[in-house]
Structure 1
């Protein structure tokens, strides 16, 4: 229900109505069905609408306590009356009805309002895209680079999209058995083991449908238009690694590197050139985010492997509209209405310089971290489906991923489907133009038989496969269970593990490679030939890539302290150059070799500072030496009167002011200064003092 004042435009939404004096509730009876027949949908801004209507029966099945199953669907007449007499015994009836979650397209543009589509049905998508075919007919749409789909947010409705009319048929085709024969297990009413297995199969089927009937179908349509697709897969009830992999440009969002890495991992593993991000959507309250805040947000994406930044967002607003103009919920406001708009080019030049490296090379990650989706599919929650944004919180996968990240291991996530495309050699695992050292299987209960067989094949080819803690216990799912379990157990028993690495690692040699088991992740990685970047011990974070010139590092000081010192790079090179992406400076770094022949370079990074270190396989005489600045004398406090002059901004320019102590204009320019947002100039005349210094370092303190 929503609220409005009689005779006035509607304000608010279905979920967050705005309360005003004299408002009255709008009942569902005030709306016309179908929802498209309502002429004021833009004003209504509905999130969800459910009209009262009969729900069509999908199936009715009787189950006896002796194990008999009877499909009664055809015994129900149009009036909903069942004509059946139960045989002797105790029977339980399960009925499934096709509901209507009523989720609406959020913040739709004019003409785009209405119900969301059935993402699991290719026919529904084709019907939706047919309208675009009609609009494009006879027109050259090649200037359109691509089509974009925002994050899957059907799950934020009351209820969720967990059904499609052909689900029973699609399930049987993919899982090999009739789901109608096992409804108690689907709904959690059978044994714990069977409940988990049938639920896993159901969720995997929905994942397949979202991948094949929506994502891949949409991509095919877009390619027929000679365009690409950009898609945010997170939030979907599916293995989002597979969804991202099916997209031309995977796009992520958020503030957690592990979440970001799901999109970038799919790009790296499948050899995609670009991976994008919805950047800086929420940093602070409206107009309170600074360009420094924006930079720190962008650096997080770069560290996660993103190389194609998009800002969220820029609102259209009439030129003559009084400040602040038309706004929307995203609070950063990348628009001329923001006081730092004239300085926006500085951060964009920074992004350009960083992305010139990240877009011209490939990731140089050592470790593939397996995403044990079957474990998460098998865990019952509050709803039938589980939606994935990244690493499930509190899981063993999260603990393993956080250890890899914090300890400086360069890694990507990988799915069961993506593992099937891996090739192995004694040099490592090959995919997407990247050579990985190892695959890590976090401690998990279930492992698909096909995945276990593939891991064994990769080991035979020369790969070293790491299992944390133990081998998985069992295969996932319910179909052909005994047959698959028998084969899984046979493969497991064939592995002969022996002690290695002073007993810290158990190793089974297979062909040219091996399988390793250890409760200590780092011991296992060392045995598998993967090494870590020790710069993380000093508060530096990195993304590592490979270009023809050599390995490069995007490095950011995410700590609160200055860094100055030597770091060891896990690569062999003769030289390294630092590219200051913020200012455009570059030059060779002081360099030396470690005892084992690895390159060491000397760096200075202030808190929040970042840059690109490019190692060079061959010495390059065209580079000059990078200049670092250090104080050479004593510091002197600047005293005197500061002159404050307001240059541009609004709502009005305050009068100039004088300050005896440097500080914010909100404390020194009266009420106008407290209201002012824009650019001002602080100036002070002072004597440089004695000496022959060639330059001075001005420290303004915290600005």
Structure 2
């Protein structure tokens, strides 16, 4: 009997336990996604001279992992003077051993490894013999009158072009007639032909070489730059890697290619044949126009548009897709910076696994407290719309990751604060980037004196940087952001066509490299750009579409589907453009017929290119004439076709509103945003880059319960929400995520800061003790008032870069407020805070505030603040004392304007905790 009773009670107990466990598990508590390796920031890892060894690699990789990095991207470059005996030849057995050790050690620490498929940039090296090197078109012209014979041989005149080959020789008569003269040329280059009447011009086209060498090459990587347009050349280039890898995967997550900087590469030997095959006519008959300097002729513009389209095809097929297929054969991905290429950037980005943009220079933000000295920044503003070319290619292709080379020349060397990094990274996030790569981290042996080895264009994010002890603050913030920005899919409602033919249709020049630095010429003047900027400011989200993308896009159930794994779009927008191919126009019609909504800002005017122009024009006009528009309200007209419709509206915003495509009105608050969707959950990323704090109720287009997630500190809480409006408090320079879900959640309420009382100013004396840095540790200080280290009496402090710890105490009569906020006010440059011995966290960016209520107690309290400053003052001191620390081959070390670096005349940078420090109670 007792036994039966025991088992009955046991079963009942187990049942109650299972019920309680099930109830706990059923609670829907919104939290941060689990952080995976690629969600942390990665860094470009410069191997100077390939002077690496297992001991030093192990040492630095452990430091990288401890600081919160997620991976490294190996890019070998030139080396440091005096260490030549330690150099490893690129891809040699010794180098491969170093690579294998790196991958094994990095993976054991939770780090991933990417690798540049080359050294320096662009791709090239010793395997690139002259026949495989980047090519250029050399055109020479001659004149002959009737009955005359050419006295000189037709041979290339440019020096150092011994490998140039004559590919075409065309004569142009006085009445526009042409004649191919190649068959009239003997083996010595003598022309056995003379015109019968009039004056003739003769144009000779040679396939020459740019002779560009790899920039910043590492030992074993020196050589000519590759001909990216020629598949056999690319295959030869990649074979060196295949052979060194023994055709086996190396544990490399992704192979990397830097921005296309193949200068003056206008040709490849197969260009004539490819042009005729793809464009349908013989380019060799148009040498005169191809060489022309005319910047207005429509005929020349059309010819050169065809030339540029052919170059685009060669680069896409022979290099980008070819290289990606090669990487996949080694179980790796590709990561490519397509900008700068002479092709359609959207397609080139879209042909790789991880499209990568870059920032170069710094942006100007209105956030109070962020330093921006004119002498310390380049006259370049990164354009977020430029970054959307990379993210659009990823989004429309259903790819998960969009990376960025981040912080290149953000400020002058040694003067970059984490506060300056934060909004620049946030601007990338707002453009769709979700995989930050620092530019960069130089591998530096442990025994190299401070400041260690450095790269000439980087923000030096490495263990020798005096900011390094607090790098985890920045890294954790980016990791939290990217954990959400890599979750689910982008939620953009608009697809905007990019009219590439308008870009290509220029009579001036030959190849057209679409560079980050050239956006003022090829991007900013366009109607496409102006419309995109206007729609973004209005509160719409969008991606860009190329002609190739539209060819494979489908419409179904009223939405537009660009790829199997891509998010659907509600509307296709065609901005005002002059030129559009018949094929693209027909694809747009096909989409509308299948149910898509298409808005034309204005109808395109003509077809691009030169071949069979009149017949293509006739077909184009006939197609446009089939658009039977009916007048609708507010200046827009609609043509209903099949299951969808085409709208003609100069005012695109009004047309969107009329078709119930709603903007996000939260933009009116001054906040910027992006959205991502994961199942039934929509994430909003909200950023305040205005000069004012935002405390308001913002309307959302997504209904459901809203949870606030603060990436600065990881806090979460259920937002106050009424209908579709959510209350947010975001100080200038801060950001928040909102998790909006139709499923009820059980998160604790978010603690809003409401009524504040007078702040408690911490004006008791402080002690200051220096714990790390150099060149020498200064003496301890007792401070009645917080001032910069550089204003204190100890002369060592003028040269000091490192870490100082402040300690003080304060009295709190009673702990009655709901929350207390610590404000350090001015910090140069980052602070780690403890209250009553408990770690509050790293305050690494403006506004240098933290909630500290849970750490306080009535009565006496202690505060400890660890501050790190910049490297600038110590570098200044070394240059004033003529201490040599810049000892590198090739470019050595330059300042932000690419002049010789010299910090000796710099002003001292303020350092330390400047304050005033205060604690504000909120009731």
Pairwise same-fold verdict (TM > 0.5): yes
State the match for 2:803 in structure 1.
Answer: 679
Cα distance in structure 2, aligned partners of 1:670 and 1:505: 73
State the match for 1:56 in structure 2.
Answer: 165
Q: 1:278 to 1:176 in 2, by over 3 A?
A: same
Post-superposition Cα deviations, 1:424-471, rounded to whole Å, max 9, x if no partner, equal 134321123211111111111100110000111111111121122x20
Structure number with the bigger relative contact order (C-alpha 8 A, sep ≥ 6) is 2
Report if the CA contact (8 A) 1:474-1:488 is conserved.
yes
Cα distance in structure 1, aligned partners of 2:729 and 2:819: 19
Post-superposition Cα deviations, 1:55-74, rounded to whole Å, max 9, x if no partner, equal 43221101223232111122
252, 272, 286: which one pairs with 1:182?
Answer: 286
Per-residue deviation at 1:673? Answer: 1.7
SS of residue paired to 2:496: strand
Report if the CA contact (8 A) 1:654-1:669 is conserved.
no
**Runs of 4+ that moved beyond 4 A:** 34-37
SS of residue paired to 1:125: helix
Per-residue deviation at 1:203? Answer: 0.2
Matched, 1:548 2:657: no
Gapped runs of 5+ residues in structure 2? 1-123, 128-157, 360-381, 828-923
Matched, 1:463 2:596: yes
State the match for 1:602 in structure 2.
Answer: 727
Cα distance in structure 1, aligned partners of 2:737 and 2:555: 31
Per-residue deviation at 1:309? Answer: 1.6
Cα distance in structure 2, aligned partners of 1:333 and 1:188: 46
Post-superposition Cα deviations, 1:122-149, rounded to whole Å, max 9, x if no partner, equal 0100111111122122x74341222111
Post-superposition Cα deviations, 1:353-402, rounded to whole Å, max 9, x if no partner, equal 21221212101101111111001111233444343446613222221121
Task: Map 1:395-410 onto structure 2 (within 5 A).
Answer: 395-410=526-541
State the match for 1:589 in structure 2.
Answer: 719
Matched, 1:256 2:383: yes
State the match for 1:505 in structure 2.
Answer: 636
State the match for 1:12 in structure 2.
Answer: none
State the match for 2:500 in structure 1.
Answer: 373
Report if the CA contact (8 A) 2:280-2:611 is conserved.
yes
State the match for 1:85 in structure 2.
Answer: 194
Matched, 1:343 2:436: no
State the match for 2:211 in structure 1.
Answer: 102
Aligned length: 644
Q: CA RMSD in A?
A: 2.1
Post-superposition Cα deviations, 1:553-605, rounded to whole Å, max 9, x if no partner, equal 1111111110110111122x221111111211111111111xxxxx2110011
Cα distance in structure 2, aligned partners of 1:125 and 1:215: 10
Cα distance in structure 2, aligned partners of 1:163 and 1:689: 79
Post-superposition Cα deviations, 1:631-664, rounded to whole Å, max 9, x if no partner, equal 5322344434332222322222211223333232
Matched, 1:613 2:738: yes
421, 426, 430: which one pairs with 1:299?
Answer: 426
Per-residue deviation at 1:242? Answer: 0.3
Task: Map 1:317-328 onto structure 2 (within 5 A).
Answer: 317-328=444-455
Gapped runs of 5+ residues in structure 1? 1-33, 38-49, 594-598
Report if the CA contact (8 A) 1:240-1:388 is conserved.
no
Cα distance in structure 2, aligned partners of 1:236 and 1:384: 9
SS of residue paired to 1:313: strand
Report if the CA contact (8 A) 1:284-1:331 is conserved.
no
Question: 529-538 or 562-571, which moves further after superposition?
Answer: 529-538
Matched, 1:701 2:825: yes
State the match for 1:356 in structure 2.
Answer: 483
Cα distance in structure 2, aligned partners of 1:189 and 1:92: 16
SS of residue paired to 2:676: strand
Report if the CA contact (8 A) 1:367-1:530 is conserved.
no
Give TM-score scaled by structure 2 length: 0.67
Task: Map 1:514-553 onto structure 2 (within 5 A).
Answer: 514-553=645-684
Q: 1:99 to 1:591 in 2, by over 3 A?
A: same
Cα distance in structure 2, aligned partners of 1:529 and 1:186: 49
User: Rg: which structure is higher?
Assistant: 2
Matched, 1:168 2:272: yes
State the match for 1:16 in structure 2.
Answer: none
Task: Map 1:21-170 onto structure 2 (within 5 A).
Answer: 52-54=160-162, 55-137=164-246, 140-155=248-263, 160-170=264-274
Per-residue deviation at 1:528? Answer: 4.2
Q: 1:415 to 1:532 in 2, by over 3 A?
A: same
